[in-house]
Structure 1
Amino acid sequence: MSSPVSSGPAAAKAPPSASPLAAMLALCGGALALGISPVLVRLADVGPFASAFWRCFLALPVLFIWMRLEDRSGAPRARIGLPVVLAGLFFAGDLFFWHLSILNTTIANSTFLATTAPIWVILVAWAWFGERISPATLAGLGLCLAGGAALVGNSIEIDRSRLVGDLYGAATGVFFGLYFHAVRIGRRTHAAGRLTFLSTAITALCLFVIAVALEPRLLPQSLNGWLALLALGMVTHAAGQGLVSVALGTLPAVFSSLVIFMEAVVAALFAWAVLGEALTLTQVAGGLSIMAGIAVARPR
C-alpha cells in the first residue's frame, strides 16, 4: 500500500497533526466513544446492517462541517487517493463481518475475535512495511489480549455449529487492522476531517447496498430507535472515528491499535451502567490487564 502524491500547491503543504499528548488524548477519547457502540446497536430497532449504514450516514453532515472548517483554516485539499478509498472499503468490511459474526455466533466470541485486530496491525507493519516490533509492544499485546479474553471469557463458547460465525469475527479483526494502516498512510496527505468524511462516504455507500439487499427494513419504528442511531452517528462514528483519525496523524498505528482495546473496557462498563449487566472480578482484572498492556507498549 503506497500513498499517492497529489499534484498542485496543496501537495507541498503537510496536513496538520496533533502534538503527541493531544494525539494520545484524542485516541483515548476515540476509544471511549467507540466503546458505547454495542449497547447503541442493541437499542436501535433495526437490523445490524441497517444500523451500520445509519451509523455512517448520520455522521456525514458533522464530518462535512469539520472538513469545511479545516479547508477554511488552510489545510491542504489532497485528492481522494488510494489510502482513503481503502480506508472506506476496509471499514465497510469491518462492520459487515462484525455484524455477520453477531448473527452467527455468540456476542462474546465475536467481540473477542474482533479484538485480534492489533495482531494484524503488527503483522502488516512488520511483513509489509518492514517496521521493527519491539519486545515491549509484543508484551503489551499479550497483556491486552489476555485482558480482552478475561472480559468475555465466561461467555466464550467453542461450538462447531458456530464456526462460520467465528470466522466472520476473525475477518472483522483483519479488516479493522487494515483500516488502521490505511488511515495512518492517508493522514500523510489528508487532514483528519477530510479523510474521515471521504472514507465514511465510501463506507456508507457500501453499507447502503448491503442493507438494501439483506435487511427487511431500513427505518427504525420508534423515537428511541432513532435516538440510538443518532448517537451511533454523532458519538460513535463522527467523534470516535474522527478522533482516531486525528491520533493516527501523529501516533504509530501499532500502538494506537492497542489503545483501542480500551473500547472493550468501556463497552463492559457501559453495559453495566445502562443495561445492568454484572461485572465479575475476572472482568475487572481483564480491564486492568488491558490498561497495563497499553502502559507497557507506549512509545518511549
Structure 2
Amino acid sequence: MEKPKIHPYIPIIIGVISVSASAILVKLIAGVDSGVIAFYRMLFSILIMSPLFFMKYTHELRQLKRRDWLFSIIAGIFLAFHFILWFESLRYTSVASSTVLVTLQPIFAFAGTYFFFKERISFKTLMSGFIAIVGSVLISWGDLKVSGSAFYGDMLALIACALVTGYLLFGQDVRQRLSLMTYTMLVYTASTITLFVYVLIKEESFGPYPTNDWFWFVLLAVIPNLLGHNLFNWSLKWVSTNVLSIAILFEPIGAAILAYFIFNEHLMLTQVIGGAIVIAGIMLFVVDEKMLKKLFQKNS
C-alpha cells in the first residue's frame, strides 16, 4: 500500500476538533426537526463537493463493483440514521452526556473489526479502550440520569453510536479501493436521499427558516462534515476503524469545553478527571512502543 504524504494521525486530530463543534451547532438550531437538520447538513456537503467531483472524479464511477455500490449505500444509510438519532438525543440530554455515549465506539468497533475483518485485538488495545471508556463516562458522571427524558436521550445516543461504527466499518472496506472524493460523494449522496425520504415520511418541514438557521446548516456541512468526517474517511485507507474509535473519544472533551462557554454548561470535577483518563487511554493506544524505546535510549 502507498504511504500517505502526512501521518494519518494529524488529519485525525484535526477531524476530532472539527466534529467536536457538531453538537454545539445542532443545539444552536432551535425549532428545527432532527431529520431536517441532518438532511441540510448532508445536502450542503455534497453541493460544496460536487464541482470538484464532476471535474476530476466521475471516471471512477465506471470502475465500481457491485460490492462498492452496496457497501457505500449501506454506509450512507447508517450515517443518516446516526445523525437523526444523535440530533434527537441532544433535545433530551446534555451535550456532555450525548457526545460521551456517541463516542463509546470501541465497544462496537472492536467486535466489528474482529468478526468482519478478522483483526486481532491485542491486550494493549483492550486496555486502552477500557481506560478511555471509563474516562468518557466520568466526563459526564454528574449529568447522566437513568430516568425520564435524560435516560431516553442517552439511549438514542447509544444507538447512534452503534450506527456510526457500522458506517465506519463499511467505509474501511470500500476505502481500500476508492478515492476519498468518490467514496465520500457516494456515501453522502446515499445519506442525503435517505434523509430526504425520511423527512417526507415524517412530514417534517423543509422550510422556510430564519437566516441564522441556514447559516448553522452550512457550518454543519463545512466544519464537522467536510473537515471532520472527510478527514476520517481519508484516514481509513491507512488506519483501522479501531484507531478512529479511540481518537474520537477526544470529542466529549472539546464539546464539553465549547458547551461551557456557549451554553454555560459547567464542568464538574469528575468531568475534568475523566478527560485526563481519556487522554491517557488514547496515548496508550496510539504511541508506538518502539518509538518510546528509542526515546528512552536517547535520553539515557
TM-score normalised over the length of structure 1: 0.85
Q: Counterparts of 1:216 and 1:252 in 2: how far apart (Å)? A: 37
1:14-163 correspondence runs (5 A)? 18-19=4-5, 21-45=6-30, 46-68=32-54, 71=57, 78-79=63-64, 80-103=68-91, 109-159=97-147
SS at 1:128's partner residue? Answer: helix
Distance 1:117 1:212, change over 3 A: same
Match of 2:266 in 1: 278
* C-alpha contact (below 8 Å) 1:50/1:215 kept by paired residues: no
Q: Counterparts of 2:188 and 2:146 in 1: how far apart (Å)? A: 35
Q: Counterparts of 2:148 and 2:214 in 1: how far apart (Å)? A: 37
Report the AA paired with residue 169 of structure 1.
A
Give per-residue Cα distances to partners, 1:64-88, cap 9 Å, x unaligned: 244356539x978642522211211
Q: Counterparts of 2:115 and 2:74 in 1: how far apart (Å)? A: 19
Q: Counterparts of 1:88 and 1:170 in 2: how far apart (Å)? A: 19
Report the AA paired with residue 83 of structure 2.
L
Q: Counterparts of 1:163 and 1:275 in 2: how far apart (Å)? A: 21
Match of 1:240 in 2: 228
**RMSD of aligned C-alpha atoms?**
2.6
Report the AA paired with residue 81 of structure 2.
G
Q: Counterparts of 2:196 and 2:286 in 1: how far apart (Å)? A: 38
Give per-residue Cα distances to partners, 1:166-216, cap 9 Å, x unaligned: 443322121111111111111111111111111001101111222233364
Give per-residue Cα distances to partners, 1:81-132, cap 9 Å, x unaligned: 2221121111112112223434566655543332222211100111232211
1:194-233 correspondence runs (5 A)? 194-214=182-202, 216-219=204-207, 221-233=209-221
* C-alpha contact (below 8 Å) 2:103/2:245 kept by paired residues: no
* C-alpha contact (below 8 Å) 1:78/1:189 kept by paired residues: no
Report the AA paired with residue 113 of structure 1.
L
Report the AA paired with residue 174 of structure 2.
G
* C-alpha contact (below 8 Å) 1:91/1:203 kept by paired residues: yes
Distance 1:270 1:103, change over 3 A: closer
1:248 positional shift: 0.8
Identity, in percent, stands at: 24
* C-alpha contact (below 8 Å) 2:100/2:249 kept by paired residues: no
SS at 1:279's partner residue? Answer: coil
Instruction: Give the number of equivalent residue pairs.
Output: 284
Could you list the structure 1 runs, at least 4 aligned residues long, displaced by more than 6 angstroms after superposition: 74-77
TM-score normalised over the length of structure 2: 0.85
Q: Counterparts of 2:227 and 2:281 in 1: how far apart (Å)? A: 25
Unpaired runs of 5+ residues, structure 2, are 289-300
Q: Counterparts of 1:296 and 1:103 in 2: how far apart (Å)? A: 34
Match of 1:182 in 2: 170
SS at 1:190's partner residue? Answer: coil
